[in-house]
Structure 1
Amino acid sequence: MNTLITNNQTTNFYNHLEEVLLKCNSFIFNVAFINFSGLQLLLDTLKTLEQKGVKGRVLSSTYLNFTEVKALKKIKEFKNIEVKIYDSNKTNIGFHAKSYIFELDDTYELLLGSSNITASAFKTNIEWNIKTISKKDDLFLNEVLNEFESLWKNSYIVNKQFLEEYEEFKKTFEKRDFNSSFKLEKLNTNYMQEEALFNLESLRKSGENKALVIAATGSGKTYLCAFDVKKARPKRVLFLVHRENILIKAKQSFESIVDSSFTCGLYTGNKKELNKKYLFSTIQTMSLDFKNFKKDEFNYIVVDEAHHIVSPSYKRVLEYFKTKFLLGLTATSNRMDGSSIYKVFDNNIACDIRLNDALENKLVVPFHYYGITDIESIDYSSIDMTKIEELTKVLKVNKRVEYIIEKMNLYSHCGYKRKVIAFCVSKEHCIYMSEQFNKRGINSTYLISNNTISQREDAIKNLEDDTNCLEVIFTVDIFNEGVDIPSINTVLMLRPTNSPIVFTQQLGRGLRKHKGKEFLTVLDFIGNHNKAYLIALALIGNKAIDKESIKISLKNNFANMQNVFIKMDEISKQRILEQIDKENFNHLKYLKEQYFEFKAILGNRRPLLVDYLQYEDLISPLSFISDSKSYIEFLAKVEKDEEIKSNCTDEVFIKAIRFIEYLLPVKRVYEFVVLKYLLNNDYIDEEIASLHLKKYLNKINSDTILHSFNFLNQDYFDKAQVKRYLKLVEFKNTKLVKSKEFELLLQSDEYKKLFEDSINYGILHYEKEFGREDYSLPFLKLYSKYNMLNIAQLCNFNKIHSSFRGSGFLKYKDDFFLFINLEKEKFSKSSYYDNTFLSKDTFTYQSKPSTSQDSVDGVKLINNKKLNVKLHIFVRKFVLVDKKTQGFIYLGLANTIKYEGNKPISVHLKLEKPLDNKLYEEFTKIV
């Protein structure tokens, strides 16, 4: 039997290769080339085979000089593996073979196809490989083995002389090739830049004069700005930076893109090129000299590291200049002082690219993450993890130092020189680790808050210098904002992970693209502490549908994550799986821990709702709101703040804030745009609403504006909702005005600030999820989550919305909405229905028990396409997870292709858009 193996969202060639390696008696790799990026993924498995005494032969070639010397040297370290090279440079014959041959007890297993030994071939490239199993006397198998033996016989043993000669040849070849053929003809826009350029143009068309771009370090924000300037063609530009070392790079980026007629110059303490049209200046210089320029001197101002924009020096400069357009660039939207940079830019987000987006779209380098079980003597079970001195004492162990170095040597790194950032638990731990590494011949230093700026700069410069002997910097508290070492090729996590946010911040330090840096190696030493599961949450982010998703990802070696390789050893994996099963992610204890971890990251100031947006892949305030009905009521539970507790005793205020936050996450932006306008204005009408909605949507629906007015007027509320929530607005003639109670509440600056935060969070969250696209009526986006009440709102249903309910079946005009539970739990209503996916586009569905084939609904269900009835499909795997009701995922439209039975009717439905591999696995697999 033959099986096709491809790289997809649920598995990949690597997973198949590892599985058969671990059960074979001997193996053969016969591949055109071997890169270290691919070999590194196999090192754990090859080490296991060496310990078991399983013999292997590896044959590769010098074809096109793609095979890397570093990879060959690493293979030669294994005592159980012979390695040879077919020298294509001498024979002048191309070598294209890609085959993996495994001897088992009674059979051979062969993987034949297109994959060489590279990380991309193993995990992400479009590769086709055939797995075939043959008996030992099979004719085809013996042809393959004979052909291999012939090649093996005519190949060279990889010895020291060959490696030296080949390495010297490759260096000469690469140098000659680079100088003679490399030519920068055209810079193309990447995913982030295309999204931002489109949104910047849309914002300007709707009359906006400010925008903010949030994207990972190294994703091309400066080039994006240059592309937009080239498009907008302003007469004069001012580019402001926080640090002088960025200026020249920014200027060069612009010069490579904009027309030569738009000259670029520097404006610093030493150099003032006033005759240039585009000026690049530090805020330090401009804050002293800005009055030397006319107020309307610059048509377009760019602020790099824009999270500094609310500081006094920036405020002075930007309040003076009257620019036509202000663009902010930043990798982080949060500030320690609580000031909102969203507000400065009128909440106009041109793009918000988070780590998973950046990885998926190859804006940063891939990383290879190895979760390694720590040495047995490191025992966290009896330690208070908040007591840093205790933790430091446990980690200062010579045996652990040797273990870390052993693993560093096993996995090695990308590139010639090892360049490591190692994150420790304390300053004392940093100093200890640096001393121990130096004693063992690995040149290292430490950087902590006590170091001067010049000491930091020297250490970073030495680490980046390929000729300098410094290999490792140990640090604890300074490598967050403003530290950029693009060439880092290794990150060591030497402390237990207590926060997925800190984990991703530290990971991000090594992801900057750099010439010759193919990937980042991350070694994480996972102990037995009870929060090891946070690592899995950090790696998966909001891609997880539920706890089951996390477990599936762990089992599949995170095959669903693009552009990365993640592997945890079996002990760590099992520990994390057990912890995920035990942990209730909706319990107040867990939510409280999450909250205080996040608060600590913000310098121990109380987070606003908008602060969570930057890290919403990892922490969501919606869980806090769900627990307590509003964010401030959650704060009253967990904080010892009398003012918060006092606010929560104001019944009118609580009824108002509960109403706003009950609508989160926003599925239709109309209501929130109306409320935002009414915070500072007496009334709003259809014309004003339409004008302000253009900022968020490409197309405005006038019926939906009126429906949103009626919704806010509580026209569609039942008696319980009217009693539960404050009426914020009233209809007067054709205008919507604030109710007296809401107007009174807004007289309090504190209350107004809280309302504004909730509304801004709702709008910004909506922009991130839905963008500017019009999804028509009903306003549904594929693969977003909804509940039944959402559908009433999104259909412009003009009766009481709570009546728009049913046992999984709702209808409005010619739209049917089928809400399907896949779980078959005992005593669950869904256990009465047979709902199962048969393939990626076909599944079974049972109607309500009372529905017959000749009823109105039955006829429309079984003949939907003929009668132009749209069947909208919503699916959830579980009704409850950790005692919390789950949302339904919208899978788009389906059509009935087969039906049988009566009361209920059993139908086969076919989706118009088939599920991808990941979603199909989510809905069909239980770990």
Structure 2
Amino acid sequence: MVKSKDRRKFIVEKYVKNKDKYGQTIVFAVNQLHAIALAATFKEYGIKADYVISSVRDMVTGVTRSQEDNASAIEAYKNGELQVLVNVNILTEGVDLPKTQTVFLTRPTVSKILMTQMVGRALRGKEADGTEEAYIVSFVDNGLDKIAWTTPEMIFEGNNDFADSKTEYEKRDIRLIAISKIEEFAKMLNDSADTRELEKAPFTQRIPIGMYAFTYLEDNGVDISYQVMIYDSTRKAYEQLMVNLPALFNEYGNDEEYLSDEILAEMAEQCRDAFFLGEMVPPYDEKDIINILKYYAQYDSAPAFYSFDELDKNKIDVCAIAKYIVEQKIDPVTQSAYVQQLWENGDDNVLRLFFGRQKYFYNQLNREILRITSPFLFEDDEDNVTYGKRYFEKMTLHEIGKINPKYEDELRSNAFKKALLPNGQYKCAGCQKSFPDRVLLHVDHIIPLNKKEGKTVPENLQILCRSCNAKKSDKYDE
């Protein structure tokens, strides 16, 4: 689809033949290379066109594109100086282009949300300073008919205003809490799942404080909408990750829009070692990191964060509800009616929003009541096993982290303290160069574990940059 000159020619000629009818047109392309090539083809046919994409580096396309270039192109389109503006999916939300009369869909999508957002660019209507008529032109290729097309009834049902609404977007975001939590509470119903660490945390700490929500395109043309829930325990780690993403990508020299699985796995492991050490309840998920890396590779920016500040955690604190039931000595019949009333008559249905299903709420509430009335049932939940440090000496740092995350964090932190310079940077034990961020460095054994003297102990750990770490690995592989 991207490389086909005939396909690009067909798309552009469709516009040229109907340019008076179509007027100002936004074109949604398959990817960055497609957007650049389409804009060039439009220009070859004498159409005033430009493109907006996330920044592109010379070594990839021979083209340099900055955010200033994007802003300039959008402004020219707003002023009527451009007939056509090509993009991938930057213009789906948040950019007001009311004079758009036509949308060209030259890419597939299986996302109904994204389809509606793209179509909505032309459906503002006169009351929103838009056009009286609008055209949606879809290019459907052979074998690519699995597209989430949207009918006129679906588009206009309950929505005559296609202006982006921040309020509605936030409401949509907060509803997604339930999607994430259902899985967690479903696990609590499974006796084979070990959720002791999770249940030790105060219930309000298990409630997300916000989320990163974003959409990116897979290399097979499928749109991925993803949300990463953030908790008190992981907030700082994710904030550090977002700040360090530019340095991480620069260190790995990644200029591709789509990263290989090998590179993603390596980068995700480095992020884990740099930011996600120690005990985190609920714990972070490596899949979240990989999806964030995929997004950054396409857009050169961190995903947007949406806070759940407006969520009243007290209304869903089942520990407090259980305590009230026990202290008031509410009998079973009255308790059942009381709990049902909480579920059905909440001012904002926040219980339903968070738990998703009534049985998950009841299950968790009953567990908390039992904790108060029959604490002896939970005595076995305490893990009284302790490990001496010698137990870990022949384990890798990652293996130690699975048993004792605090000790892994201690070992890594001590290694970085030894490498810390007076200026706040860290010195590589190999090349002796200094680096500003931990994310650019690795904690490595001086004597490898596969040698008799090699142990995972503080005095055998050093800090190496990525280049020196690779050289050392190659040396011992030989």
Answer with 1 or 2: which has the greater Rg: 1
If each structure's strand is expressed as a fraction of its own residues, which one has the higher value?
A: 1
Task: Name which structure has the greater RCO, CA cutoff 8 Å, separation 6+.
Answer: 2
TM-score, normalised to structure 2, is 0.36
TM-score, normalised to structure 1, is 0.20
If each structure's helix is expressed as a fraction of its own residues, which one has the higher value?
A: 2
